[in-house]
Amino acid sequence: MKVTYPELKGLIVFEPDVYGDERGYFFESFNEKRYTEAGLKVKFVQDNISKSKHGTVRGLHYQVGEYAQGKLCQVVFGKVLDVAVDIRFGSPTFGKYFAVELSEENHKQLWIPPGFAHGFSVLSDIAIFHYKCTNFYSKKDERAIKFDDGQLNINWKINNPIVSEKDLKANNFNQIEEDFSYES
């Protein structure tokens, strides 16, 4: 397994070893021992799957307080641009984002710890997105930042995005509360 650590401290990109032949392929999508050795020492409590069509943008979402979540993200079918925004006050990369294409072809996974807002755009006709969470969903602790916030200036690699009404009403980046602090 290839492991890389992006500039935004806390994020991890995993590229599992994939074994393919004329029948298809096989890979371990999670192995607690290997992921712990790579720095991912968490317990997952919930798995989520979404199916979206081309041009959809979901996010930028996060949860706060006792329900803050870490997410291990991957694409089972199709291709997305997965984005994590550093929302840890005091972080040297506060307000910066990291983006990586996740697809059924590259099998990459992105670990996003608490303290980051998360979103993705669908680059293929259809995408099935899977993520493991370290905490349960809590509506009252859910927060969102506008995907098209000019301060963040994220290139979602799509035209005419399809966005939920709820996400269109999200806060601007400069309106977020100090829910996360940077720990060096």
Which of 35, 62, 97, 131 is flagged as catalytic? Answer: 131
Q: What is the dihedral of CA 110, 117, 114, 90, to 10 degrees?
A: 120
**CA–CA gap between residue 107 and residue 78 (Å, rounded):** 11
Q: Exposure string (b/e) for 89-108, b if CB count within 10 Å is 16 or more?
A: eebebbbebbbbebbeeebb
Is there a cis peptide before residue 60, judged by omega within 30 degrees of 0?
Answer: yes
Per the annotation, the verdict on 61 as an active-site residue is yes
Neighbouring residues of 32: CB distance < 8 A, sequence distance ≥ 6: none
Per the annotation, the verdict on 131 as an active-site residue is yes
Which of 61, 62, 97, 118 is flagged as catalytic? Answer: 61
Asked if 144 and 60 touch (Cβ cutoff 8 Å), the reply is yes
Asked if 135 and 45 touch (Cβ cutoff 8 Å), the reply is yes
**CA–CA gap between residue 93 and residue 111 (Å, rounded):** 17
| Tokens linked to 121 | 């755009």
Catalytic residues: 61, 131
